[in-house]
């Protein structure tokens, strides 16, 4: 009868310790990325002089975002790549992750597209879209004749 080789206990403990450290040290954004939830929550608030769009994105950096306005559509997107490598005498582990999202919002007629600004602070990206002072009149409805 052939006997199976026993695993070296310190190696097994080390692997579990690495896994536990990864789990504990993963940021909330990293956890959401690992479970496949890449689209962050968004709040939209209307104020007298502007619209505020707040994107919850903890663990990200200012340079990870792109904010664009084109023909009445505001697009907020992000792309992040990470790579980690651990080498030991008995194992070699290389992990990488990639996450991306894109959210687009159709802007109302009363915005000034050239007056859009963005700020990232403490895990929240805030995009401010200025409203014009002259609000266009509401379109009056009309009846459509059926032919």
Distance CA 100, CA 78 (A): 5
What confidence tier does 57 reach under pLDDT thresholds 50, 70, 90? confident
Residue 56: strand pairing partners: 124
pTM of structure? 0.60
Question: CA nearest 72: which of 114, 103, 38?
Answer: 114
For 18-34, what is the mean pLDDT?
Answer: 54
Which pLDDT value is given to residue 76?
92
pLDDT of residue 10: 47
* Mean pLDDT, residues 76-83 taken together: 85
Cα 25-27-31 angle, rounded to 5 deg: 105
Give the pLDDT band of residue 22 (cuts 50, 70, 90). Answer: low
35 pLDDT higher than 50? no
- Determine the average pLDDT of the residues in 92-103: 83
pLDDT band, residue 119 (cuts 50/70/90): very high
How much is the average pLDDT of 97-116?
87
**Rg of the chain in Å (alpha carbons):** 25
The C-alpha angle with vertex 10 and arms to 20 and 1, in degrees rounded to 5, equals: 120
Q: How many Å apart are CA 97 and CA 67, to the nearest integer?
A: 23
At residue 60, does pLDDT exceed 50? yes
- What pLDDT, on a 0 to 100 scale, did the predictor assign at position 86? 84
Is the pLDDT assigned to residue 32 strictly greater than 80? no
**Between residues 2 and 57, the one the model is more confident about:** 57
């Amino acid at each position: 009868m052939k006997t199976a080789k026993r695993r070296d206990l310190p190696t097994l403990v080390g692997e579990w310790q690495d896994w536990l450290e990864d789990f504990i040290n993963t940021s909330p954004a990293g956890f959401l990325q690992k479970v496949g939830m890449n689209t962050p929550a968004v709040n939209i608030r209307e104020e007298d002089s502007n619209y505020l769009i707040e994107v919850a994105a903890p663990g990200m950096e200012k340079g990870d975002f792109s904010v664009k306005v084109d023909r009445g559509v505001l697009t907020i997107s992000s792309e992040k790549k990470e790579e980690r490598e651990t080498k030991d005498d008995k194992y070699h582990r290389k992990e990488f992750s990639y996450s991306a999202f894109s959210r687009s919002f159709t802007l109302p007629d009363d915005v000034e597209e050239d007056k859009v600004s963005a700020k990232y602070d403490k895990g929240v990206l805030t995009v401010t879209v200025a409203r014009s002072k002259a609000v266009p009149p509401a379109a009056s409805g009309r009846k459509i004749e059926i032919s």
